[in-house]
Amino acid sequence: MFSLNSGFQWTTPPGPAGLDADVQWMVWHRANSSSTFVAIADINNFTINNSSSGTISSGAIKVDLTTASTGVLGNFYDQRVLAYNQPGEYVIAAYNAKTVTASVQSEAMSCWVNSNDLYYSTCVIENGVNITGGTARSYQYSIDLTGSSSNYCPNFISGSTVYSHVPYGQYITQLYSSSNLSSIFNITGSGGVTNYKAFVTTGTSPYYRNSSPQKYVFSSRFSTTTSKVYEPNPATGCYVQACSAQATCTPNIYLYPFSP
């Protein structure tokens, strides 16, 4: 799992314009030294379009980091998470990274990449702090069992409490009924697969905001026998939709401070 981070600290009011910075993230993979570097799909079937300079909805991960949403001093960052299951070598580029507006050099944007295990992460950033304390843990979600025949994205979810070993909802693979991940959560449905359910991080999980509309809501179908995420047919679809993303399979945009 790669966490692609960019951010700055706004300490000197430069006027109404605030601070502004841009970067485009690119990722390539090759199986070995004899292979060619290419873009590949992540485990949610999203592939970065490294040749595009457009927005995330066009397949390019384009970041426009600005203080315009709050107008107050403090720390600001943007985080995109990508998870891959193909072994080999990866190259990550912060392409055309630039600070558009800054009063002093110390307020210029910084970019960094963190690599960790997706399923048992020891470094999960929430509001600039590693909430795991360096120790792998489980993560709490609320799931709305009502569901729908299509992707289901309500503004607020207050449903059954479930747990996962994955801190990022778009990469959920299995749900459990207890925090020690010892028992699989039972979901009922017809034909061995449920309709689309909505779920959201809760409790001490990262990116939690228990107000309406909730910040990070996801939608997926599940197997009724194992409670694993149901892989769509055809497989070109995404397994989990991040409801706030501009396109269904794109990685969620984790912001701090949260936009209003």
- In this predicted structure, the answer to whether residue 245 has a pLDDT above a threshold of 70 is no
d(CA 78, CA 4): 8
pLDDT above 60 for 16:
no
Does the structure show a pLDDT above 70 at 17?
Answer: no
Confidence label for 55 from pLDDT (cuts 50, 70 and 90): confident
> Which comes out higher in pLDDT, residue 216 or 56?
216
- Integer Cα distance of 207 and 59 in angstroms: 23
Question: Domain locations in the chain?
Answer: 2-115, 125-252
pLDDT digits (tens, 9 = 90+) for 129-165: 788 888 888 999 999 998 899 889 898 998 899 999 9
Half-sphere exposure of 6 (CA within 13 A, CB side): 24
pLDDT over 90 percentage in the chain: 46
Query: Distance (Å, rounded) from C-alpha 27 to C-alpha 154?
Result: 32
User: What pLDDT, in 10s, does the model give residues 67-100?
Assistant: 876 667 888 889 999 999 999 999 999 999 999 8
Torsion-angle region of 196 (φ positive above 0: left; ψ -120 to 50: alpha; else: beta): beta
Query: What is residue 163's DSSP assignment?
Result: E
